[in-house]
Amino acid sequence: MTHTLPPGATLPDDPPRPPESRGHVIRRRAFTLLIIVLLIGVPAGYLVISANQSRDSGKNKEAKYSATGLTEAWPSKVQQRLYHVPIPHPSNQVAYYETNNWKTSRLYVQFQTTHAGLDAFLAELGLDRDALVKDDIAISERDQDITGWKFSGPDSRPGDYFGFVRAQKNPKPTLDVVVNTGNAVYPMVYVVSRTVP
């Protein structure tokens, strides 16, 4: 016959446990509290940091895409192909800005190139120098305001201006082009390409 001990009872051979000292109780409770804080606090802190980084990233993207004016960089090859703006090599002072809405998409591009580069750009559009009309400012005041380009007045570049409009049927883009020849060696080219999606 086996005997069972009631809960909490000890065998007579086991020595009784000494009572827990006050210092030991405080250390045990502090250790338990530390574990709880770490288990809850570390993941919560990580979530807060992650949320802030995500919010900052969104603000940076919003600032980037809501900025007005040109960005000093080359538009991507896809943008150049989509908007039919083949920037020739060599070119410098390259900058662009793209806008999109439900009605019209526009790519604003400027670049300075050689005369051979200008001829290559025109040839890519199926044109030559005969397309350039002196004092024809093909880019509208609205588009000039968006980019900060000045083609008249004291803020404009010195030299002669030439321009043309390369109209094409949708979905192909229409290009408004202005060329400044103030620098006799390196003409400056301004392009607004607009397409209706």
Span 153-180, pLDDT tens digits: 777 788 889 999 998 887 889 999 999 9
Taking the model in full, what pTM does it have? Answer: 0.65
Is residue 95's pLDDT more than 80?
yes
Give me the torsion for CA of 113, 152, 173, 94, rounded to 10°.
Answer: 30
Whether residue 73 contacts residue 97, with contact meaning beta carbons closer than 8 Å, is answered with: no
Is residue 1's pLDDT more than 80?
no
Dmax of the chain from CA atoms? Answer: 119
The candidate with the shortest Cα–Cα distance to 131, out of 177, 98, 99, is 177
Tell me the pLDDT of the chain averaged across its residues.
83
Please tell me the distance from the alpha carbon of residue 114 to that of residue 88, in angstroms, as a whole number. 9
Please tell me the distance from the alpha carbon of residue 128 to that of residue 122, in angstroms, as a whole number. 5
CA distances from 100 to 106, 127, 193, 196, 197 (A): 6, 27, 12, 10, 9
68 pLDDT tier (thresholds 50, 70, 90):
low
Mean pLDDT of 30-37: 86
Report pLDDT for 64. 47
Report pLDDT for 66. 46
